Amino acid sequence: MMGKVCAIFGGSRGIGKAVAELLERKGCHVAIVARNLEVAQNTAHSLGAGHLALSCDISREQEVQHAFEEIQRKLGPINYLVNAAGINKDGLLLRTKTEDMVSQIHTNLLGTMFTCKAAVKSMIHHQGGAIVNIGSVVGLKGNSGQSIYSASKAGIVGFSRSLAKEVARKQIRVNVVAPGFIHTEMTAHLEEDELKKAIPLGRFGDPHEVAKAVLFLLESPYVTGSTLIVDGGLQLSI
Ligand code: NDP
């Protein structure tokens, strides 16, 4: 991985930041992309020299295209893409506002499509690459109060599997990591003591444990179209 260029959308904190730290240790040049530039810059600085921070709203295709142009101009052709940008607006369907449905689908699903499209365009011209999209175990199993979020994450699986078929001949691989409950800002408000009873390993995961799965998929030359579940066994009990 030494010297490879990786764009990490949602790399400023949580799971994306853990991926950035691991890839930096592997010798990658990392572009941290998120809406809040200051937080992205702090993360990029904490990695050391040779990394980049950019502000971009993944749900806006033009901003995504500009981000890719900027990354390639400053770091060179993109070898890896990790999509860890995501939001959740939990609630029962009947209480969910249309704008909250739209923002989850735009950010989680359309955003993934926009970044993958831009990455594939570049990878086709540079001997292939690898993409890892972050889904969720609820996209596979469903969860009451998360119907829209689950739909966005299930969509990522179908999208990634189809794209994997489309681009395999160009030596581009596309895989998904589906985490369970992971300690980040997204889960900070949850009742861990109650929820961990359903997790066979008995605890929430750490972002670095998800990062290891992302690294495995980026590095595995014969794996494409896969979904790797990283959930402490949660999917076995829900
Ligand atoms: P965090 O809330 O900690 O981080 C989310 C990241 O995404 C931040 O960098 C944020 O930066 C960025 N982001 C959010 N919206 C946008 C946007 N519109 N454009 C660009 N960047 C954006 O979340 P996690 O690290 O927990 O989650 C990472 C991914 O993992 C998400 O897709 C989430 O759905 C998924 N996941 C998380 C689980 C968990 O338990 N934590 C479980 C299963 C899946 P900024 O706000 O500055 O834009």
Cα–chain center distance at 222: 20
ipTM of the complex: 0.99
Amino acid at 134: I
Segment 128-135 shows an average pLDDT of 98
Boundaries of domain holding 179: 5-237
pLDDT digits (tens, 9 = 90+) for 157-191: 999 999 999 999 999 999 999 999 999 999 999 99
What does each C-alpha distance from 163 to 67, 214, 218, 224 come to in angstroms? Answer: 21, 18, 16, 10
Cα–chain center distance at 160: 12
84 CB less than 6 Å from ligand 1?
Answer: yes
Q: What string of DSSP letters covers 104-136?
A: HIIIIIIHHHHHHHHHHHHHHTTT-EEEEEE--
12 CB less than 6 Å from ligand 1?
Answer: yes
The verdict on whether 149 is a catalytic residue reads yes
Give yes or no for residue 118 having a pLDDT over 90.
yes
Task: Give the pLDDT of residue 160.
Answer: 99
Domain containing residue 178: CATH number: 3.40.50.720
Domain count, the chain: 1
Residue to mutate (ligand 1; options 8, 9, 15; most atoms within 8 A of CB): 15
pTM, 2 dp: 0.98
